[in-house]
């Protein structure tokens, strides 16, 4: 991989009208900013519909796109919405954060108006999209229509005939909910139409898209409903065990995510057919794919369903290199970032090395006095070139917030490593960005909040918490000429300019 740099910035964190970042003019201007500041990559995080906790890692589908990201101004230009209709809708009080409740309650009625005026069934491009994506789209659209029909209930609480997908029930609800199903197909058509336009604009300007594939899918998802045989479920379609992480220095009770676990033996017997379709799909969507929680393919943490905390869990063996050898044989070589963070063992390191994927190095982890053994792996002088250097990820504190929250002993360790005892703490994040940029890592990704020097009030996500996550939005005026120049100078200085 060529020596390059990029910025981590969720689509939903972009500035602009109507309460949430989307595929609007601001997305194109952000691509321009990336190009002008010498960057090569835009890491976007998952772009799927958000489910429980507004998290894109708890999505209703591993294949669908998030309707919130559809640009309403583009629909105005098409004539299916008016500016007045959009202007009178409440999308939230603060343009610096996403109000998901307002989006859910008020954006969908607008999108429904656009659908009803679109005469979409007459559009040959729409019909082609539906035909090409029927292998996932028909299940997803029916699933979303059924969720509304049954008042938002999880699918295993639906009547038995449709919960278990009996043929006569599937036929009945496809007739009964025809227009609701078509509405969700329309949303996916518009989402991907706008996504591919933005991706082409970025690629034409030398900017590649880095996207995420979460290792797990949500229990309440079209994927689990349509393919329960893939997961560790009992005869009543309830999980036998769920995903999470064991207790560590960051969380004394561990993390209980609640996602259903895979029946890896079943996947192995089918030649990993579902996984191959999933990987093929994301390899088309993105220029580089980041595989979330990569260590779960080596061994995964299994927590009994209904357990009070992750402390009751234990480790089970994952598919290992077998899955990725199968993927390479069928799909060829693709650029992948393996999120090899968390409890990393020698066998996880071996799996990353054997796969040939680039691992992740997070600078904030390098000075953690609670885990001094593993911390050394994240010090830049120990990086291999086949890795991606981060100051922090979407799950970490912002760099400035982290510098203000760590104990004085750790802050002294940062200054000692930098040989810098004089830079004011308020500016020390710039020195750490330079440290990551100057590392041997082939790719360096810096979260937008770190370039902006923002504190933890602008943090994207705090793991194991429900509430104020995935809400941060950048303001348009923060993308200044001075910031563009500073990022470009740093990128150029360390030989990462595209």
Active-site annotation, residues: 292, 339, 395
d(Cα 492, Cα 486) in Å, to the nearest integer? 10
| Strand 4-8 with 314-317, pairing | unpaired
C-alpha 223: how far from chain center: 17
Contacts (Cβ under 8 Å, ≥6 apart) of 367: 375, 406, 410, 413, 414, 417
C-alpha 167: how far from chain center: 34
Tokens 């994040």 locate to 429
Contacts (Cβ under 8 Å, ≥6 apart) of 381: none
Per the CB < 8 A criterion, the answer to whether 240 and 249 are in contact is: no
Question: How many residues belong to the chain?
Answer: 498
Per the CB < 8 A criterion, the answer to whether 464 and 412 are in contact is: no
Q: Which long-range contacts (CB under 8 A, 24 or more apart) does 113-122 make?
A: 113/80, 113/81, 113/85, 114/75, 114/78, 114/80, 114/81, 114/190, 115/80, 115/182, 115/183, 115/186, 115/187, 117/79, 117/80, 117/81, 118/78, 118/80, 118/186, 120/182, 120/186, 120/189, 121/182
Burial of 329 (0-12, 13-18, 19+ CB in 10 A): exposed
* Nearest CA among 196, 19, 173, 190 for reference residue 115: 190
* Nearest CA among 359, 395, 366, 486 for reference residue 434: 486
| Strand 241-245 with 443-447, pairing | unpaired
Helix (H), strand (E) at residue 117: helix 108-118
Per the CB < 8 A criterion, the answer to whether 392 and 414 are in contact is: no
Largest CA distance in the chain: 74
Residue 66 has a CB neighbour count (10 Å cut-off) of 22
């Amino acid at each position: 991989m060529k020596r390059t740099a990029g910025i981590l910035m969720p689509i939903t964190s972009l500035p602009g009208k109507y309460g949430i970042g989307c595929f609007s003019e601001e997305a194109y201007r952000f691509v321009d900013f990336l190009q002008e500041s010498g960057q090569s990559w835009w890491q976007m995080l998952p772009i799927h519909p958000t489910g429980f906790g507004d998290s894109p890692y708890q999505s209703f589908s591993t294949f669908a796109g998030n309707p919130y990201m559809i640009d309403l101004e583009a629909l105005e230009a098409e004539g299916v919405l008016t500016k007045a209709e959009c202007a009178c809708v409440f999308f939230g009080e603060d343009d610096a954060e996403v109000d998901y409740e307002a989006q859910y309650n008020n954006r969908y009625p607008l999108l429904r108006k656009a659908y009803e005026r679109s005469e979409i069934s007459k559009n040959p491009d729409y019909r082609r999209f539906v035909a090409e994506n029927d292998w996932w789209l028909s299940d997803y659209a029916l699933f979303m229509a059924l969720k509304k029909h049954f008042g938002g209930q999880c699918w295993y609480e639906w009547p038995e005939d449709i919960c278990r997908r009996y043929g006569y029930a599937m036929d009945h609800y496809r007739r009964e909910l025809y227009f609701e199903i078509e509405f969700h197909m329309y949303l996916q058509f518009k989402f991907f139409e706008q996504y591919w336009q933005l991706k082409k604009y970025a690629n034409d300007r030398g900017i590649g898209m880095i996207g995420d594939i979460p290792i797990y899918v949500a229990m309440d998802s079209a994927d689990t409903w349509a393919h329960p045989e893939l997961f560790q479920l009992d005869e009543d379609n309830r999980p036998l065990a769920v995903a999470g992480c064991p207790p560590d220095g960051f969380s004394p009770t561990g993390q209980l995510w609640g996602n259903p676990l895979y029946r890896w033996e079943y996947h192995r017997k089918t030649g990993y057919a579902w996984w191959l379709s999933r990987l093929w799909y994301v390899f088309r969507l993105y220029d580089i794919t980041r595989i979330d929680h990569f260590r779960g393919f080596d061994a995964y943490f299994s927590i009994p369903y209904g357990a009070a905390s992750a402390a009751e869990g234990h480790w089970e063996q994952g598919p290992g290199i077998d899955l990725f050898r199968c993927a390479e044989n069928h799909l060829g070589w693709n650029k992948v970032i393996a999120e090899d963070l968390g409890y990393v063992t020698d066998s996880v390191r071996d799996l990353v090395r054997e796969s040939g994927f680039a691992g992740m190095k997070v600078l904030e982890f390098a000075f953690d006095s609670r885990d001094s053994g593993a911390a050394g792996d994240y010090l830049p002088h120990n990086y291999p070139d086949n890795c991606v250097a981060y100051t922090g990820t979407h799950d970490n504190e912002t760099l400035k917030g982290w510098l203000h929250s760590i104990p004085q002993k750790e802050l002294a360790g940062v200054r000692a490593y930098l040989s810098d005892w004089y830079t004011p703490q308020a500016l020390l994040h710039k020195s750490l960005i330079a440290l990551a940029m100057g590392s041997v890592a082939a790719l360096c990704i810096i979260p937008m909040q770190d370039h902006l020097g923002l504190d933890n009030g602008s943090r994207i996500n705090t793991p194991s918490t429900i509430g104020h996550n995935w809400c941060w939005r950048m303001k348009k005026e923060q993308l200044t000429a001075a910031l563009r120049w500073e990022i470009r100078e740093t990128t150029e200085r360390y030989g990462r300019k595209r």
